[in-house]
């Protein structure tokens, strides 16, 4: 999985004019997406919940895949499990 970089700028009443000037000089067009602090906290909590869900789902899938595999395949699978788990930590 390859994720794109995202930049977040904190803009207040005090730095709004300077931000608009610098941002448009560097990037051209300006579009504003506003979010309250509570909504930002909710976004962070949602991302955390998605991470937890992915890890839990991965563990469940691995458990059931291992349950139906022959014994020699189970030991090889353990090496792959730690790689997947480490990706999300």
pLDDT tens, 28-60?
999 989 999 999 999 999 999 999 999 999 989
- What average pLDDT does this structure show over 8-29? 94
Helix ranges, the chain (H): 16-27, 37-67, 71-87
Q: Residue 88: its pLDDT value, please?
A: 60
Q: Is 72 or 11 the better-scoring residue by pLDDT?
A: 11
pLDDT tens digits, 62-84: 888 888 887 766 655 565 656 55
Domain boundaries, the chain: 36-87
Q: Which residues contact 79 (CB under 8 A, 6 or more apart)?
A: none
């Amino acid at each position: 999985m390859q994720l794109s970089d995202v930049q977040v700028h904190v803009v207040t009443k005090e730095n709004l004019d300077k931000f608009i000037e610098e941002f448009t000089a560097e990037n051209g067009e300006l579009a504003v997406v506003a979010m309250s602090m509570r909504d930002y906290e909710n976004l962070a909590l949602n991302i955390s919940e998605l991470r937890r869900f992915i890890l839990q789902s991965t563990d469940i899938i691995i458990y059931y895949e291992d349950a139906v595999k022959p014994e020699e395949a189970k030991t090889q699978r353990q090496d792959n499990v730690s790689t997947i788990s480490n990706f999300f930590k």
